[in-house]
């Protein structure tokens, strides 16, 4: 099964896995699942790091490379149909990173792994 992890799930997987739910851990550890990280999340982390909102022990590029190798994490590119898919989303919240991740999950028919409960207001499969 294909899963798209939210930005905070990636950070928790990398930096504080104890914060992950039991169900999220099972999904991430099951090698039969395909786990994707959106390039939107990398962009978000980079911006938040530069603003001092996120602190990383390693350079972001190293962290992503390590997780790709260790957890077979795949990167999901931003495509135009993901952007166009934003027009079908209600305005439940304004976070542009979250909205694009939700659109990607919908367009790619992936289950979204996130603790962010506002995502449940969107027509997307959500697991936490």
Q: Is the pLDDT of residue 12 over 90?
A: yes
pLDDT tens sequence across 31-51: 999 999 999 999 999 999 999
- CA–CA separation, 103 vs 46, rounded Å? 21
Instruction: Give helix 60-70 / helix 39-50 axis angle, nearest 10°.
Output: 150
- Going 76 to 82 to 88 to 89, the CA torsion angle's sign is positive
Q: Which of these ranges, 4-13, 103-112, 118-127, has the smallest mean pLDDT?
A: 118-127
Confidence of residue 20 (pLDDT cuts 50, 70, 90): very high
How many domains, the chain?
1
- CA–CA separation, 76 vs 121, rounded Å? 23
Q: Average of pLDDT values for 66-84?
A: 95
Mean pLDDT of all residues in the chain? 94
- CA–CA separation, 107 vs 78, rounded Å? 11
Tell me the percentage of the chain whose pLDDT exceeds 70: 100
Gap between the terminal Cα atoms of the chain: 15
Nearest to residue 102, comparing CAs of 119, 80, 79?
119
Q: Is the pLDDT of residue 63 over 90?
A: yes
User: DSSP string spanning 50-100?
Assistant: HTTS---SS-HHHHHHHHHHHS--EEE---HHHHHGGGGS--S---HHHHH
Domain residue limits at 95: 2-127
Q: Is the pLDDT of residue 93 over 90?
A: no
Q: Is the pLDDT of residue 94 over 90?
A: no
**Which pLDDT score, from 0 to 100, does residue 97 have?**
94
CATH number at residue 42: 3.40.50.1010
């Amino acid at each position: 099964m294909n899963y798209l992890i939210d930005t905070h799930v990636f950070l928790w997987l990398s930096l504080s896995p104890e914060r992950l739910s039991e169900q999220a851990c099972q999904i991430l550890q099951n090698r039969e699942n395909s786990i994707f990280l959106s390039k939107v999340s990398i962009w978000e982390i980079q911006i938040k790091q530069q603003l001092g909102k996120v602190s990383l022990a390693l350079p972001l590029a190293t962290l992503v490379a390590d997780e790709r190798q260790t957890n077979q994490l795949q990167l999901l590119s931003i495509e135009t149909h993901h952007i166009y898919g934003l027009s079908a989303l209600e305005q439940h919240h304004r976070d542009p990173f979250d909205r694009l991740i939700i659109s990607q999950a919908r367009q790619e028919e992936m289950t979204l792994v996130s603790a962010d409960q506002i995502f449940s207001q969107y027509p997307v499969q959500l697991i936490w």
